Amino acid sequence: MHPRMRVAALTAIFALMLASGVLAQVVPCSGVILGPAPNQLRAVLQAFCIPTSSEVPFNLDDPVQSAGYNTSEEFVLAYNRVSGSNAIEEPLRVVRLDKLKQTWSTAEFGEMTTEVLPGLAGSCLGAVGDVQKAGTLFYVGISLSPSAGCVAVLSSDLKVQAVLSGWLLAKFANGLVILAGSTRHFAPTHPLRLSLFNPADRSIKKIYPAENDPLRARYIQRLRTEIVPADRCEGENCEIDPERFDDELAAYGASSPALAVNDETVSLAFVVQFNPIGFLSFGKTKDAVEWSEQVVFVCRPLDDGVDCREFTPSEMQTRFGVTSIDALLAPEMLKQVFGR
């Protein structure tokens, strides 16, 4: 996306946030501020219960859009300054307070690039969405559009270690993180992509979709051959390539998450919902129960990739006697899943 178009899009998104005027309940030391954004940096720090003084190395009066990470030992805030016209300004600013030493460090990032979409490189600067920590690294999530984002990976001294595409979806205690890939917002379908980032060697391994996936291949074949002409989607909002069908993470049952991780076994499980959106005509998708399929995946990282097993939810119950995906990740259960 051209830089001017990107800034304009982000400004429009932020303007909608401002216009909504949604009020959130104030939770002590949570960073939540009652009332619409933007807020002065001073007020944001106070909402996190961070003492402010004239000695801090940044302007406390700056109006900002921000996200923070706060523990008893440290505080990290990533923010964009907001102009008088409510436009988000570059650069991205990040500050860190070492609470044990009572020292501040600051950094600014004026240009970061990554593969924003498959085959398309672009700038990773936009509205800050969240700040998380995995292992010793901070992950600053940045929104580029409603369906695209990127992640700046920073060390404790606020140096860039990597710039990733998509969003941080889950994390392991050992520092591995799971990413959801970005998609084009204005597209007939939004295919799901999941990957595993290892900060030790900065490698990214694909989790989903896998190269050889029989249940996914079967669904693609159904889209190719089983839709009668009268039911097929037609027009610019329709997809023509079944390989790009719409799928998403979805919970199986009320008590089961859509994605679960287990630090003891360093494994993950998730449920993918297959949808006929973009292939069936709009009026047919709502009641097309026979086209709505769910698949359970259980995966574990290996040195040379990610090893996964898949089965239907009913098979999960009959083979393993469980109804929640997180139960599949227990040590003894995982041995049954992988047969060893």
186 falls within a domain: no
Residue 175 has pLDDT above 70, yes or no: yes
Percent with pLDDT over 70 in the chain = 91
Same domain (yes/no): 35, 154: yes
Distance of alpha carbon 170 from alpha carbon 55, whole angstroms: 37
202 falls within a domain: no
73 falls within a domain: yes
Same domain (yes/no): 160, 255: no
Same domain (yes/no): 161, 219: no
Return the exposure string of 235-269: e unless at least 16 CB atoms fall within 10 Å of the residue's CB, then b. eeebbeebebbbbebbbbeeebbbbbbbeebebbb
pLDDT of 17: 46
314 falls within a domain: yes
Q: Which of 147, 155, 175, 177 is nearest to 164 (CA)?
A: 177
pLDDT of 66: 95
Distance of alpha carbon 243 from alpha carbon 241, whole angstroms: 5
13, 30, 94, 123 from 193: Cα distances, Å:
24, 31, 29, 20
What's the structural domain count of the chain? 2
Residue 9 has pLDDT above 60, yes or no: no
161 falls within a domain: yes
Tens of pLDDT, residues 271-321? 999 999 999 998 888 778 899 899 999 999 999 899 999 999 999 999 999
Same domain (yes/no): 220, 317: yes
172 falls within a domain: no
Same domain (yes/no): 111, 34: yes
Mean pLDDT over each residue of the chain, to the nearest integer: 89
Residue 7 has pLDDT above 80, yes or no: no
Tens of pLDDT, residues 122-152? 999 889 999 999 999 999 999 998 889 999 9
Largest CA distance in the chain: 70
110 falls within a domain: yes
Given 128, 144, 165, which residue is the final one in a domain? Answer: 165
Same domain (yes/no): 51, 154: yes
**Torsion angles phi and psi, residue 117, rounded to 5:** -130, 160
Binned at pLDDT 50, 70 and 90, residue 27 comes out as: low
Same domain (yes/no): 146, 229: no
Same domain (yes/no): 127, 261: no
**Beta-strand relationship, 267-275 and 259-262:** antiparallel
Domain that holds residue 50: 3-165
Same domain (yes/no): 158, 220: no
The set of residues, in sequence order, having a beta carbon less than 8 Å from that of 167 and lying 6+ positions away, is: 129, 141, 149, 151, 179, 180, 182
